[in-house]
Amino acid sequence: MAKEKDNKKSADNKGNYDASSITVLEGLDPVRKRPGMYIGTTGPDGLHHLITEIFDNSRDEAMGGFANDIEIALLPGNRVRVVDNGRGIPVDIHKQTKVSALETIMTVLHAGGKFGGEGYKVSGGLHGVGASVVNALSIYLKVVVHKDGGIYMQEYSKGKRKAAVKKIGSTKQHGTIVTFEPDTEIFKEGVNFEWHRVVGHMRQQAYLVRGLRISIIDARGQVPTFGQDDDIFFLRETGIDAPSHTFYFEGGLVSLIRFTNQLLKPTHKSIFYVEKKVEGVESVEVALQYADDVSSRILAFANNIHTPEGGTHVTGFKTALTRTLNTYAKNNNLAKASEESFTGDDALEGLTAVISVKLREIQFEGQTKAKLGSMEAQSAVATVFGDAFATFLEENPEEARSIIGKVILAMKARKAAKAAKDSVLRKGALEGMTLPGKLADCQSNDPADSELFIVEGDSAGGTAKQGRDRRTQAILPLRGKILNIERARLDRMLGSEQIKNLVLALGTAIGDTFEIGKLRYHKIILATDADVDGAHIRTLILTLLYRHFRPLVDAGHVYIAQPPLYKVKRGKEILYFYDDAAKTKALGKEFDDAAMADAEAEAAEIEDARNDLLNAASVGGEEAGDEAEEAAVAKGKAPKVSIQRYKGLGEMNSDELWETTMDPEKRILKQVSIDDASEADKVFDMLMGDDVPARKSFIQSNAKLATLDI
């Protein structure tokens, strides 16, 4: 009876909403409850953001003139160690919290030296949550402070202190050492710091703070205890033998422009640069150079925080750039009076620019700081850059003519592209009324359920059309290798039948009329052969998608199919393997090419067993064959194993292609994503651009790493 009463009470409370329904999260519990609010994601991006948050605190010391040396070390056991030679985090008692200032900073949200006073004039730490968020999301964190002749230490776990701050020694150094280990309960995809990603970010930061030395050490291959001693300051001074990089640039943004344009041919020799302080903004820095390219590269920073989504500083820059170029061209009769003004896209074509602003009071959109929202940055950048760039053009007439010539060429190409686009992308085509003849469309009209397989050639296309699920899967065969669009303008691109078919099939249009909302398939799957030609075709298609359909990649709509390399038939069992390692692991060394010689002695015995199976099956039928096979296995004999190496999708029959590559329940797809846009841009320039010597050097340097299928 009591049980029934309890159940009734529970049921009555289901609809109640009173004070007892309110949960109060204390300390750093909100961070562990909703980590995505603070670091964006608990995937690889969020994991690497932890390093950025701790590094940003050290870099802010350097921006303030208090440090000039930072070291980041990846340690065994998924730990990261960040050291700076700044002032050291204060360790005295905080008046408000009644505990050490160090403990306050590490365990209280919105606590730091960046909210007021003269602790920092400029910083990237807007919200004061960086260090405490990293602490909350780490299973282990230790801070060692070298300050005022003493060494102070405190350890934490999941954001909670293990003991009070204590003095553990004396020192002649000054600075802060933070060692942390991300919590695998939060980062369930695993803790795997990518070396190239960390190095790329730190190189970028070294360009932005002139005179700052940044060292990165990969000590993950060392013994687990290495570098944990509290009396060790910079690990590099211990003579550690580990992969490392050190960056130090006196040229600042100008050096970054040279680095970004190293694979391109500059339109003009001189790199424009300006740095100036204006009211309300501590510093506005802009550097730019045009190159012989159809794409633009704009790197934007606010208080040295990379803002990939731009913001007010980028808006101010683009406005001033277009206005200044139009004014100069008309004042100097470089543009015909009858011609229309340059558009923003005209002015951006081929441009490489770096914009960096530093503000005392800064507003980002979200803790991940992807976009700047401070309105004063827009007018400051527009004024500083606009005035300085106008002066640059007047004082460098030859450079100015080269730049204006580049922009005029872009304007003419835009008009030609519009004419070509209007002729190709007719109204009916844009509405999906006219589709390419070779496209085998799916029955579903819901883009969320629809997939487009882009396959190589008519042979694979025919197999895929037979093996597909007609309800949700569409097939578009492309004949041969499509045009390399890396240096091709839109009008020439749309003259290619293969590219035109792809544009029509996607339904989004292209160029300034692109609309991602009209995408007809939410999965665009590249299915090419597993050989050199297939890889080349895949690269050409990826280049097209990256340069002209970038929002599709950003939204996660682009995938690469993974067809198997081997079909292995062992008796009645059929196995598929996607690489040599998996095949060797499953079948054993006796079936490796290198070990086949050792198996020759057993060949006769295996052949006898196979003959027994065939004879039994022919005399007694399938059941007798099965019994003979079991008997052969029991005797230590085995049926013959046949291994088929697939050269292309066309070699598969429709059932095989469906089972291995197209069946959503069994297939393997790799989603195409962009971790570092500037690095991706550089790779496409190198692989698909005009700089043949750089590509040749890359091939020669990496030739030994290639796996050749000869």
Gap between the Cα atoms of 324 and 58, Å rounded: 38
Dmax (CA) for the chain in angstroms is: 98
Catalytic residue among 346, 529, 659, 685: 529
Query: Whole-model pTM?
Result: 0.65
For residue range 234-262, what is the model confidence (pLDDT) as tens digits?
988 888 889 999 999 988 899 999 988 98
Residue 336's alpha-carbon distances to 324, 329, 340, 383, 404, in angstroms, are 16, 9, 8, 27, 12
| Residue 348's pLDDT band (cuts 50, 70, 90) | very high
**How confident is the model at residue 11, as a pLDDT?**
44
Domains in the chain, please, with CATH?
A: 29-247 (3.30.565.10), 253-422 (3.30.230.10), 439-563+669-674 (3.40.50.670), 566-645 (no CATH)
Residue 227 has pLDDT above 70, yes or no: no
Catalytic residue among 275, 309, 469, 533: 533
Instruction: Give the pair of three-digit tokens for residue 485.
Output: 């669009």
Segment 17-30 mean pLDDT: 55
More confidently predicted of 547 and 192 = 192
Express as a percent the part of the chain with pLDDT over 70. Answer: 79
**How confident is the model at residue 522, as a pLDDT?**
96
**How confident is the model at residue 27, as a pLDDT?**
66
**How confident is the model at residue 709, as a pLDDT?**
54
Whether the Cβ atoms of residue 42 and residue 36 lie closer than 8 Å to each other: yes
| Residue 226's pLDDT band (cuts 50, 70, 90) | low
**How confident is the model at residue 116, as a pLDDT?**
45
Annotated catalytic residue 12: no
Annotated catalytic residue 456: yes
| Residue 313's pLDDT band (cuts 50, 70, 90) | very high
**How confident is the model at residue 294, as a pLDDT?**
82
Annotated catalytic residue 26: no
**How confident is the model at residue 491, as a pLDDT?**
73
Residue 286 has pLDDT above 90, yes or no: yes
**How confident is the model at residue 7, as a pLDDT?**
47
| Residue 97's pLDDT band (cuts 50, 70, 90) | confident
Catalytic residue among 456, 486, 491, 629: 456
Residues 6+ apart with CB under 8 A from 54: 80, 82, 130, 131, 134, 178, 180
Q: Which of 492, 493, 491, 480 is nearest to 545 (CA)?
A: 493
**How confident is the model at residue 566, as a pLDDT?**
85
**How confident is the model at residue 643, as a pLDDT?**
81
Q: Which of 698, 696, 697, 684 is nearest to 264 (CA)?
A: 684
Catalytic residue among 275, 282, 449, 531: 531
More confidently predicted of 453 and 511 = 453
Max avg pLDDT among 299-313, 564-578, 613-627 = 299-313
Annotated catalytic residue 608: no
Segment 341-350 mean pLDDT: 92
Task: Supply the mean pLDDT for the chain.
Answer: 82
